[in-house]
Amino acid sequence: MISQKEYKNRRDTLAKKLSNNSIGIIYSSTYKIRSNDTEYPYRQDSNFYYLTGFKEDNSVLVLVKTKNLTKTILFVQKKDEQLELWTGKRQGEKQAKKRFSVDKVFASNDLKKRLIEYFVGKKTLYCDLSSKDKRVKKVLDQASGIKTQKNIIHYIREMRLVKSPAEINLIKKAISITRDAHHSVMRSKKKGKKEYELLAQIEYEFKSRGAYSDAYISIVACGNNANTLHYIKNNKPLIDKELILIDAGSEYKHYASDITRTIPVNGKFTKAQKKLYNLVLDTQLEIIKMIKPHVNRSELQKIAVELLTKGMLKLGILKGDYKKLIKKQKYKKYYPHGIGHWMGLDVHDPAPYINYDNNEIALDKGMVLTIEPGLYIDKDDKSVPKKYRGIGIRIEDDILVTKKGHDNLSKDIVKTVKEIEDISFNLLCKSKALAVTAPQAK
């Protein structure tokens, strides 16, 4: 769990980045309409949650900074018995003041009146200038007398780049839940099922272990479906002798995991599948070994491209001169994405990749990123040997940068050919043997 002291320290750090005689405003998320008058389950805005740990909607955090002092004010939905009858209990002003380490708490419907007072004498307004939220537009109109406006989100995202020990523990918990879900699917009989049946199994494992939501819409893609990178239909049959790409990660107490494994429907890789799979796996293992402070992500991408290109040349997927293939980016036909991304409160954490001097931000202790090389060969690609067509493979792990190197936080999720076959194929064989030797009913 993250303590209120840590949330307060984050607000204090943010306040130091703001200029004197300024005001910063961060809004909670709003409910999103799913259909007509029904809404998606509420999920707090990540930046607001990062600074407060407060989960309710209709709330606002305000930082008022003078030359010698910064005050933090939290605006919350006031207690309303009739509203709570429909949507559940609220903290209200009194309880929020006791629970959260802020200077003052007011009801949200007092915001406009209070801002008139806070804007007096202020030179700079910090808010989410990139937001399309109507509330932001209203506050910008109200603060028309403040000449300088800056985007507060840039500062918060920069802070989110390095994770605290408490954040890392929550990410580890999310990954452990995700591990159990992936292993459950690997152990299960898959032949004759539909993709959505595996999806249901994954979601059951998430929720039964305390992760009440996915970190993103899971991908369960059998055969050629895996060659659509963001395939989320998840409604096709699982075909014998094909592979299933499963990209699924749980979210635990707002922190994400992001794991991809590619497994055979029948528990056994074919020779061609094994060659492609090991090329992707060997590439991933080499890239993970490179991770340590001061290394650039662009270098990881460069080496991944080189390894995958060499491997595709060897397998006859690419043809021609190695250097020319790299220069002309011919590999992008089969490896079109990057080697990974930041991860934290969001599965694609929006922390910066470039600093204020327009230089790449190197890896440093406490950063968490995914490493996910892949190869995607469409079934209709006649330039490739037939045995490789219709195969899509991605292997993804979540990596913590440590003081001297790295820690693969998802290393307990099996991924070698032998491990996957042991956990799935051999188990199925045992099940068949038990069925044969079981005493027959009279």
Catalytic residue check, 128: no
Catalytic residue chosen out of the listed positions 258, 397, 398, 421: 258
Catalytic residue check, 103: no
Nearest 5°: CA angle at 260, between 382 and 290? 95
Record the tokens describing residue 146, joined without a space: 């403040």
Whether the CB-CB separation of 200 and 222 falls below 8 Å is answered with no
Q: Report DSSP letters for 345-385, one per residue.
A: SSSS----SB-TTS-BPPP-TT-EEEE--EEEE-TT-TTS-
Catalytic residue chosen out of the listed positions 57, 214, 242, 372: 372
Whether the CB-CB separation of 398 and 410 falls below 8 Å is answered with yes
Catalytic residue chosen out of the listed positions 128, 247, 251, 349: 247
Q: Give 40's DSSP letter.
A: P
Catalytic residue check, 337: yes
Record the tokens describing residue 119, joined without a space: 């804007």
What ranges make up the beta strands (E) of 47-87? 60-65, 70-76
- In whole angstroms, give the CA distance from residue 226 to residue 212: 26
Catalytic residue check, 372: yes
Catalytic residue check, 231: no
Catalytic residue chosen out of the listed positions 230, 294, 356, 357: 230
Q: Number of C-alpha atoms within 13 angstroms, CB side, residue 12?
A: 9
Residue 426 backbone dihedrals phi, psi, to 5 degrees: -65, -35
Q: Give 133's DSSP letter.
A: -
Q: Which residues pair with 393 in a beta bridge?
A: 375
Which residue in this structure is represented by tokens 């980016």? 329
Secondary structure class of 217 (helix, strand, coil): coil
Catalytic residue chosen out of the listed positions 50, 376, 388, 389: 376
Q: Can you list the alpha helix ranges (DSSP code H) found in 81-133? A: 81-87, 92-99, 111-119
Catalytic residue chosen out of the listed positions 99, 135, 187, 348: 348
Catalytic residue chosen out of the listed positions 90, 157, 209, 394: 394
Query: Which residue type occupies 90?
Result: R
Burial class (CB in 10 A: 0-12, 13-18, 19+), 150: middle
Catalytic residue chosen out of the listed positions 57, 396, 398, 421: 396
Catalytic residue check, 406: no
β-strand pairing of 255-256 with 219-222? unpaired
Catalytic residue check, 230: yes
Distance linking the first and last C-alpha atoms of the chain: 57
- In whole angstroms, give the CA distance from residue 92 to residue 95: 6
- In whole angstroms, give the CA distance from residue 75 to residue 156: 19
- In whole angstroms, give the CA distance from residue 118 to residue 394: 52
Catalytic residue check, 353: no
Cα dihedral value 294, 297, 302, 305, nearest 10: 140
Catalytic residue check, 348: yes
Catalytic residue chosen out of the listed positions 341, 346, 397, 421: 341
Nearest 5°: CA angle at 405, between 355 and 277? 95
Catalytic residue chosen out of the listed positions 99, 114, 183, 337: 337
Whether the CB-CB separation of 178 and 170 falls below 8 Å is answered with no
The residues that are catalytic are: 37, 230, 247, 258, 337, 341, 348, 372, 376, 394, 396
